[in-house]
Structures are given as structure tokens and as C-alpha cells.
Amino acid sequence: MKKIGIGLLGLGTVGQGVANIISDPNGRHPLVGELELVGVAVKNLQKERNVSFPHSILTSNPIEIVNNPNIQIVVEVMGGIEPAKSLIIQAIRAGKSVVTANKAVIARHGEEIANEAKAAGVYVLIEAAVGGGIPIIEPLKQSLGGNQITKVSGIINGTTNYILSRMDKEGVNYAEVLKDAQELGYAESDPAADVEGSDAADKIAILSGLAFGGAINRADIPTTGINHLEAIDVNYARKLGYGIKLLAISERDNTQTECESSQPLSVWVEPTLVPEENPLAGVNGVNNAILVEGNPIGQVMFFGPGAGSGPTASAVVADILNIAGIQSMSVDKVLNLDPLLSAKSWKSCHVAEEREITKKNYIRLIAEDTPGVIGQIGGIFGQKKISIESIVQFDATNNEAEIVVITHNIKQGQLQDALLDIKNLPQVKKIAATMGCL
Amino acid sequence: MKKIGIGLLGLGTVGQGVANIISDPNGRHPLVGELELVGVAVKNLQKERNVSFPHSILTSNPIEIVNNPNIQIVVEVMGGIEPAKSLIIQAIRAGKSVVTANKAVIARHGEEIANEAKAAGVYVLIEAAVGGGIPIIEPLKQSLGGNQITKVSGIINGTTNYILSRMDKEGVNYAEVLKDAQELGYAESDPAADVEGSDAADKIAILSGLAFGGAINRADIPTTGINHLEAIDVNYARKLGYGIKLLAISERDNTQTECESSQPLSVWVEPTLVPEENPLAGVNGVNNAILVEGNPIGQVMFFGPGAGSGPTASAVVADILNIAGIQSMSVDKVLNLDPLLSAKSWKSCHVAEEREITKKNYIRLIAEDTPGVIGQIGGIFGQKKISIESIVQFDATNNEAEIVVITHNIKQGQLQDALLDIKNLPQVKKIAATMGCL
């Protein structure tokens, strides 16, 4: 068998991890031994590098990788939207399959890229884009295809999970843990994409498209990060038997009728109270976990390291091997694409109105510490037909009471209407926090 | 695209689950709609059946399924060793790919079947044989191929996990929970294969072969079930911060040198103390979970329903779709097998001597309640160079003390030697229990 030529776009930690695996096939699947690193594009050729391959294959011109006839699979691990996106498309048009870890590009331009790939008859595989080393893309595409998927949810951002785990364990403030996390390298110096939830939104957009068979508009996903989360809510949640996790959720609207032309999906990212007995509650630190629910499988969970050089490289190589395996099936004939791996859309989906999202909610109010205030709040929820699981008044000081409400499953539209009325109650000073609740 | 003909051998709960999925493709991967149930072999044609397909495709002669030219994929869900094994081989020789949920056949005859499949150029896929609906076979074969796998371990028998979860929660005896489990349908009327660990041993033999690239001899796996587990050990374990799970473990011997012709693997099945913070500790009821450890991925866990009609059918259909996907890649040419999916062995492996297994241990001794007995026991462990994590004396009655020892990682040979000497101490009445400990 002729070796399969691999070209890397980028040689950061993930790129180096991939190069390390390819240059040390011992103890891995024998197909790893059939891969050959042919070219590596880097920004700066002069930089000192301790690498496992000859320096002669380095280039500062990524177009050389994309057009090299000895390269069959282009691996994009440079990150960022451009030039990554253009290079991916050029590689596809040059007839090469592409493996990418670039969730930002796939979440925004996945459909365009999938159409290019289909036209060129090549694969674009993205296992490393979600969940780091955790196999989740391929199981969704291949192993769960017999199911009617109803919901995909999970902890898919390691940085925020690390911060939340420490806030919970140590009772400290968000800002304090963030600073620590930055010093330890668990958070970027500009942490916005992680802590504001945009990274998680990218990833749930990707998972959603695979689970439900049609791409959604990434920009439509209501997204709340953890950057405004207060230690007091972590504390109250724990007292009520919950941990707080930044969850990304995509759920099929069960009221949809078969004849609707596009499937509405409730998709959102939000700090969420998770009961202690839920499998997601035990997922701490930089770990990720993704729950998939469907019929007839019930519920399966995939858990593991959500980031890092090694795990992400493991996912990239998984994709390379899949393509290499298929290429080895026929040496002299162009094959049709495997419909599972190519993962083209098979229906139209869209993000439903935020008011239509149905979930449990946690609400913290600051009110005057006077008799009857709980009754009034409860009355408004009742008028809006919102069923309440619990109302608890926590420590009151300075004539102020903190009131925590947990609702049953309700539409967000109902909640928004009720909160407007509650805000207007003279005894209510502030709606201090709202979050989801499982 | 011409429909892909499916033949079922067996129509128990799993077979019916598969038929239900095929007959209702709506909301699933569109490839499900390309499948056609062509024939179903059952034992008794006269039995009343409420099925989703025409009765005319039923037959009492399985050979008709195996030889039917309109069937491309034979699905064996009859269970048992024979005639299942012979039918699988006949189907392969007739040029059909096979999907089977039969762990007993694969654990014992997997190599023979793989060789037949290779010679015939067909696939034998076995996702449903381990972990029910949890995708674990395919991730091991495809998604983790870039890793040097070091260990596979897990809870892979739902019946025993259900019994252990209830023993732990309710503090009741094994026999009592077993009776209940049988009445509720969670345990068979003859529960031996589950409670004695043989089902878990079948499954770890299969996982082991896939993770490490070579089949092992199923009969060599040291296997201890839960049928002699006493409530008191569950109680003591909980007091020490552990739950007890029936774990199946396969671990690469790190001392192996590259030039050894066969890779030794430590493989065993045993009730094991799992610390509360371990991800396996939260896996309760009939759920299963499999941890895979490797380099560079670190640790990933797969969690979900380990048995049941729906989940198992989901796994069977995943395999069918994989084969269907590949068949749709070329209509006019026989392809080479995909080296990832065909999963042929790539090296030789064997089960290492039980004395070489290195692990932590839990030992419960019954001894005279006299001063100095802990010192004597500790002395013997010291002589055998066994490092102790803790020795705790629990409630003593009738001049008898219960002493629980937890060791650090030691070879089982060391432990066996020490226990022989301890047994001979005049103050020691009985070695009442030994288990593994994570």
C-alpha cells in the first residue's frame, strides 16, 4: 500500500500532537503506519522548533500544502476564521479530503463547506471540533443513526467548567477564579469566547446539525455565558441540591407536525442548575460530557477531556484514519461518498423562537423583607399559569430578602411576561439572576 | 438506490426492536429508509405475533435467510452458541455481511469468524455485543485508533450493577435483591452467566481484542462474580468511601519489551471498590459504562443503557447502516475491506498470569479480638513487601474482630503468598473476603 500523504496547516499544540502520533505509530492502529507527513505550513519558518519530522517539509506558504499532489488529506489546525476557511475550500477544490478542528469555521460556514465537499467528492471530518478527544461527532453520524434523536445537551466548554467547578468547591467569586485560570493556562488572556458562551454555541450548532440532519443559523442561538454569574447563586444552588454547569442544549420541538417544511429546534447556551443525581453533575474541571437522547436508545453520555493537545490530536487522527481506511478500499476507482461519513443534511432545521423554549428555571429576586411578598410573587406566577416547584427565602439583611424560585417546565415567553409584572411590584427591588434548571 | 435486503435470525425483543426501526424510518438517518426486511427466521411459525412486517416473510428455516440472494446483511439475534455460530459462518460463506449481538459466540469464536469474514471479503460487526446501546465497539475501532491504548475497564453487566446498586442503597443481602430482580425481569431465572461474571468476561474479552489488536483466550480470564458478595462488605466499603461495582478490566503490561512476540494483558472480572469521586461510581442501576485510557487521549468514558430491546436494537441498526453506507459507495465493483471496520488482529496478545495482575486490594479478615493481632497481620504484609493504605478494625462481637485491609498497588502473587501466611496465624479465624480496589 502506498503511503497516504498528510499536510498540516498550522503547527500549534494540536498540530504538534498530530505530528507526534504520525511519527510514532508503534502500539497504535497499524493504519497510522501508512500515513506520511508530507508538508507542514507554519507562520514563521525561523522559529526554533523541536519537531519529530525533517525541517525541510516546513513551508510558510499554505497554498503549497493545499496544492501538493503528494498530499491526499489536508489537516487544518491553524484556527480562526480566515485564512482557515478559504484554505479549507481551496483544498476541497483541489480534490483533497479535509480534517479540521475549527469549530468557529464549521459552525458559521459548515453548510457551504459541506456543499463544496459534496461537489468535489471528498470528505470534511470534524471530530476534533467538539469535545476535544471525546468521540462524539462520529458516534452521532454513524453509531446513533438508527435513532430518532430528541435532545443533545452537554458541558462542551472546558474553561468555563473549570471555573464553575472551582467556584462551587471553594465558594469564591468568578473574577478571582478567572484570574487564577488565566495564570494556570486554563483560560485565554482574552477569555470572551469561552466565558460569554460563544465557543459553546459554536459547538452546539455543529452537534445540532448532525443530530437532527440540518444546519441551523449559528447567530440565532440565545447565549448566556458565566461572566455575570455570582458566587451567591452557586451557593444557593448547592443548598437546594444542585451544581451549576454551563450547558449547551438542542432539543427537537415535539409539537412539530410532519408536514412542516423546516424542523424547529430549541437551542440555547446558559448556566444551568444540574441536580446532584444527574450524570452531568459529576463532570468537573476541564472535562466535557455530551448527553444524547433518542428513541429507542434512551440516554447515552460521552465523557472525557474536552481540550488539550493530546486529546484533540487523537480526534484529528481518528478522522485521518477514517479517510485513509476508505481510500484503501479501492486503489483504481473513485468511490461514491459514504453517506454516513459525508454527513450531508437530509432536512431543513431552524432555531425556534426563544419564547418557545420549554424548561425549568431558577430565579433569584431581591425584595423588601415584608410579610406577603412571597404571596404576591406566587400570585403573579399563578396568573401566568406558571407552576412553581419551590419558593425559598434566603438570609435577609437590611430589610432585604433574597427569594429563590424554581419553576416547573414552562415556556420562556410565559416567564418573561411574569418577570415583567414581578419587576413592577413595589416590594421587588431587583431580579438578580435567572438561569435554567434540569 | 436499490434497497438493501436485511434478514433476521431470531425475533426476540432485540429482533423486534430492529424490525420496528426498519419499518419506521421517519426521523432517523435517511439510510434507514434504504433498508428492507426481506426475511425473518423464527422457531415457531404458529406463535401469535404483533409485528410491523408481513407474516409472509417469516420462516422457520434459518438456512433460507442465509442463502436468500435478496439478503445482503444477515442479522443474528437468536443468541446461544449453536446454531448461531454455524449460521454466522454459513452466511459469511454465502458472501453476506453479518451483524450480531452474540457476545458468547464472538468471545469464544471471534477469531475464527473474523478469518472467515476476511476470506469472504465481508464484514462482521458486533456493536450490540458489548454495552447494549452504548457506542463502544465502533469508537474503539475507529475513533481511538490513533492512541496507544493502555487500559479498558468498566461496568458491562447491567443485571449485576442493578443488584449492587440496590444492595448499596438499601443495605440488603444479595439473595434478597436477586429474587426481586428476577421478579422484575432484570435478572434471568437462571442468573449464573450474569452473577458469576461470565457475561462480563465474554465482553471484556471482546473489548480487549479490539483495544489491543489481538484476540485473547476467553477461558484464561480470572473471573469472580457477585454471588458470594456479603452485605457487610458493601457496608464497610461505603464507610471507607467506596461503592462496589463488578468491574471487567483489561490492561497492558507496561513492563513488556518491544521484542516480545505476544503482548501480555492483565485481564480480570471482579467485584471492585470504586472511590466515590471516580466517574464509574455514579453509574447505577442497569446502566453500563466503559472507560478507555490511552496515549495521548487520557481517559474517555462511554455511559448508557447496557441492555434492553431498544438500546440493543439501536446498536444493531448502527452496524447495519455502516455496512449499507459502504455498500452504497460502489455499485459495480467489489471493494477491499475498510481496515478500521473489518478490525482484523494486528498483533498477538495473551492473558498474563493471574499472579502478575497489579492492583489495590480489599481484604476482610475475621480474627480474635486480642491486642497485637493488627500488628501481626501488618508484619506479614511488611515481610511480603506489601504496602498498606489502611487497616481498620470494625465492630467486634463474641471476641471476634472484623479487620479490613486496603493495600496499595501490589502483584496478586505477593498477596496470595501473604494471605497464606496470615491464614496460618492462630488468631486469624477466616479470610472472609477479598476484592479489587481502584
Q: Which three cell numbers, joined as nine digits, stand for A92? A: 476541497
How many domains in chain A? 3
* Angle at CA of residue A289, ends A284 and A291, nearest 5°: 135
Residues in A touching B326 (Cβ below 8 Å): 329, 338
pLDDT digits (tens, 9 = 90+) for B252-277: 977 665 566 899 999 999 999 999 88
pLDDT at B42: 97
pLDDT at B130: 97
Do residues B16 and B164 both lie within one domain? no
Residues in B touching A149 (Cβ below 8 Å): 27
Q: Which position has the higher pLDDT, A300 or B347?
A: A300
**Is there a contact between A357 and A151 (Cβ–Cβ < 8 Å)?**
no
Mean pLDDT of B126-152: 96
Residue B334's contacts (CB-CB under 8 Å, 6 or more residues apart) are B121
> Is the bond preceding residue B83 a cis peptide, omega within 30 degrees?
yes
Catalytic residue selected from B85, B96, B103, B203: B203
Residue B187's contacts (CB-CB under 8 Å, 6 or more residues apart) are B159, B162, B163, B178, B181, B194, B195
Q: Is the dihedral of CA A426, A431, A436, A438 positive or negative?
A: negative
Kindly state the DSSP code that residue A241 receives in the 8-state scheme: T
pLDDT at B259: 60
pLDDT at A49: 86
Residue A244 and residue A168: Cα distance in Å, rounded? Answer: 8
The answer to whether residue B107 is domain-embedded is: yes
Do residues A281 and A372 both lie within one domain? no
Q: Which three cell numbers, joined as nine digits, stand for A18? A: 498530530
Neighbours of A259 (CB within 10 A): 5
The answer to whether residue A351 is domain-embedded is: no
**Residue ending a domain, choose from A325, A346, A367:** A346
Q: Which three cell numbers, joined as nine digits, stand for A213? A: 440532519
**A296 vs B145, B147, B314: nearest CB:** B314
Residue B174 and residue B189: Cα distance in Å, rounded? Answer: 15
Residues in B touching A301 (Cβ below 8 Å): 301-304
**Residue ending a domain, choose from B347, B366, B399:** B347
Do residues A147 and A99 both lie within one domain? no
Pairing of strands A148-155, A242-252: antiparallel
Kindly state the DSSP code that residue A334 receives in the 8-state scheme: P
pLDDT at B257: 59
pLDDT digits (tens, 9 = 90+) for A219-233: 999 999 999 999 999
Residue A207 has pLDDT above 80, yes or no: yes
The answer to whether residue A414 is domain-embedded is: yes
**Interchain CB distance below 8 Å, B146 and A330:** no
* Residue B62 one-letter amino acid: P
pLDDT digits (tens, 9 = 90+) for B263-322: 999 999 999 999 988 889 989 999 999 999 999 999 999 999 998 999 999 999 999 999
pLDDT at A334: 77
Mean pLDDT of B359-372: 94
The answer to whether residue B352 is domain-embedded is: no
Mean pLDDT of A141-148: 95
| Nearest in space to B314 (alpha carbons), one of B29, B93, B5, B70 | B29
Do residues A68 and A210 both lie within one domain? no
pLDDT at B332: 72
Residues in A touching B309 (Cβ below 8 Å): 296
**Interchain CB distance below 8 Å, B311 and A297:** yes
Mean pLDDT of B103-120: 95
**Interchain CB distance below 8 Å, A32 and B147:** no
Do residues A48 and A85 both lie within one domain? yes
A414 beta partners: none
Residue A282's contacts (CB-CB under 8 Å, 6 or more residues apart) are B279, B282
With cell 480566515, the residue in question is A82
> Is the bond preceding residue B296 a cis peptide, omega within 30 degrees?
yes
The SS3 call for residue A345 is coil
**Is there a contact between B337 and B98 (Cβ–Cβ < 8 Å)?**
no
**A328 vs B20, B31, B336: nearest CB:** B336
Predicted confidence band of residue B343 (pLDDT cuts 50, 70, 90): confident
Do residues B147 and B264 both lie within one domain? yes
Neighbours of A95 (CB within 10 A): 12
Residue A254 has pLDDT above 90, yes or no: no
Compute the CA torsion angle A294, A158, A133, A91 (nearest 10 deg).
Answer: 100
**Is there a contact between B274 and B361 (Cβ–Cβ < 8 Å)?**
no
| Minimum mean pLDDT range among A55-64, A153-162, B364-373 | B364-373
Q: Please list the helix, strand and coil fractions of chain B in percent, rounded to the nearest 5, in that order.
A: 40, 25, 35
Do residues B299 and B189 both lie within one domain? yes
Q: What is the CATH number of the domain that holds B27?
A: 3.40.50.720
**Interchain CB distance below 8 Å, B146 and A21:** yes
Residue A384 and residue A417: Cα distance in Å, rounded? Answer: 8
The answer to whether residue A283 is domain-embedded is: yes
**ipTM of the complex, rounded to two decimals:** 0.94
pLDDT at B258: 57
CA atoms within 13 A on the CB side of A434: 13
Residues in B touching A337 (Cβ below 8 Å): 329
Q: How far apart are the CA of A148 and the nearest CA of chain B, in angstroms?
A: 5
Q: How far apart are the CA of A82 and the nearest CA of chain B, in angstroms?
A: 28
Q: Which three cell numbers, joined as nine digits, stand for A203? A: 459547538
The answer to whether residue A362 is domain-embedded is: yes
Concatenating the DSSP letter of every residue in A25-67 gives -TTS-GGGGGEEEEEEE-S-TTS----SS-GGGEES-HHHHHH
Considering chain B, what is the average pLDDT of its residues?
Answer: 94
Question: Considering chain B, what percentage of its residues have pLDDT values greater than 70?
Answer: 98
Q: What is the CATH number of the domain that holds B423?
A: 3.30.70.260
The answer to whether residue B127 is domain-embedded is: yes
B203 is catalytic: yes
pLDDT at A48: 87
Residue A68's contacts (CB-CB under 8 Å, 6 or more residues apart) are A5, A7, A38, A39
Residue A149 and residue A140: Cα distance in Å, rounded? Answer: 9
Do residues A229 and A297 both lie within one domain? yes
Residue B222 and residue A30: Cα distance in Å, rounded? Answer: 29
Q: Is the dihedral of CA A124, B338, B210, B346 positive or negative?
A: negative
Residue B98 has pLDDT above 90, yes or no: yes
Do residues B150 and B280 both lie within one domain? yes
pLDDT at A259: 59
Q: How far apart are the CA of B181 and the nearest CA of chain A, in angstroms?
A: 21
* Residue B34 one-letter amino acid: E
**Interchain CB distance below 8 Å, A297 and B304:** yes
**Run of H or E including B99:** strand B97-100
> pTM of whole model > 0.90?
yes
pLDDT at B33: 96
**Residue ending a domain, choose from B326, B347, B368:** B347
The answer to whether residue B353 is domain-embedded is: no
Q: What chain B residue is nearest to A302 in terms of C-alpha separation?
A: B302
Do residues B383 and B319 both lie within one domain? no
Q: What is the CATH number of the domain that holds B251?
A: 3.30.360.10
Considering chain A, what is the average pLDDT of its residues?
Answer: 94
Do residues B101 and B10 both lie within one domain? yes
B412-423 and B373-383 are packed helices; what angle lies between their axes, rounded to 10 degrees?
140
The SS3 call for residue A8 is strand
Domain hosting B124: range is 4-136+309-347
pLDDT at B397: 80
pLDDT digits (tens, 9 = 90+) for B206-256: 999 999 999 999 999 999 999 999 999 999 999 999 999 999 999 997 766
**Is there a contact between B73 and B323 (Cβ–Cβ < 8 Å)?**
yes
Mean pLDDT of B85-105: 97
**Interchain CB distance below 8 Å, B29 and A127:** no
Mean pLDDT of B77-86: 96
Residue B50 and residue B423: Cα distance in Å, rounded? Answer: 60
Do residues B128 and B14 both lie within one domain? yes
